[in-house]
Amino acid sequence: MYHVLQVVLINDYQKQRFVERIIDAMFNTISGKKIAVLGFAFKKDTGDTRETPALDVCKGLLGDNARLSIYDPKVCLAGSMQHAVTVFNHMQQPHCPCLCQTCVTVALCLMCCRAIPLLRCCKRPGCVVLRLHLLVRLL
């Protein structure tokens, strides 16, 4: 049981650290800045958003008044973004377009939460690109 608790604590720390990395990359303020979130689902080829680490990261960014635009083709098709939106509660609701190009337009930062094949075509000069590294998991 002790090891499970340690893994959970490490995962929470990694998510918070990722939020801090984004804030540092954006010159210590993200208030009012648009951040594109690519790959929101828990894992590749699924629309499941229930236990996704991206949810906690997005809540951390919204807590600092960032403007989020979330794109994941499977989540958009499955309509499961509703679960994520209800978790954000009173925070500013993120924009959830169904096209990748719409998501990244005028974004100052691209946040990649998992492997997404469209990332190469979404990059723009002068845009910060950060990837959420794999979190520790129990086998």
Three-class DSSP category at 18: helix
What band does 91 get if pLDDT is binned at 50, 70 and 90? low
- Dihedrals phi, psi of 81, to nearest 5 degrees: -70, -20
CATH code where residue 110 lies:
3.40.50.720
Residue 26 domain-assigned?
Answer: yes
Q: What is the mean pLDDT of residues 70-85?
A: 70
**Average pLDDT over all residues of the chain:** 77
* pLDDT exceeds 60 at position 77: no
**Is the residue at 136 inside a domain?**
no
Would you say residue 139 lies in a domain?
A: no
Query: Is residue 64 domain-resident?
Result: yes
Asked, for residue 93, whether it belongs to a domain, the answer is yes
Is residue 138 domain-resident?
no
Task: Please write the tens of the pLDDT for every residue from 124-136.
Answer: 666 666 666 433 3
Question: Count of domains in the chain?
Answer: 1
* C-alpha pair distances (Å), 114 with each of 43, 57, 76, 109: 7, 13, 16, 15
- Is 11 part of a structural domain of the chain? yes
pTM: 0.79
For residue 133, what pLDDT is reported? 47
Torsion angles phi and psi, residue 35, rounded to 5: -120, 125
Average pLDDT over every residue of 91-102: 74
The model's confidence at residue 121, banded by pLDDT at 50, 70 and 90, is low
d(CA 63, CA 52): 18
The answer to the question of residue 58 being in a domain is yes
Who has greater pLDDT, 47 or 66?
Answer: 66
Alpha helices, DSSP H only, in the chain?
2-25, 53-63, 73-78, 81-87, 100-104, 119-122
Residue 79 in this model has a pLDDT that exceeds 90: no
Cβ(113)–Cβ(42) under 8 Å? no
3-state secondary structure of 95: strand
pLDDT (tens digit per residue) in 104-120: 777 888 888 776 665 55
Other Cβ atoms less than 10 A from the Cβ of 95: the count is 15
Domain of 60, in residue numbers:
2-131
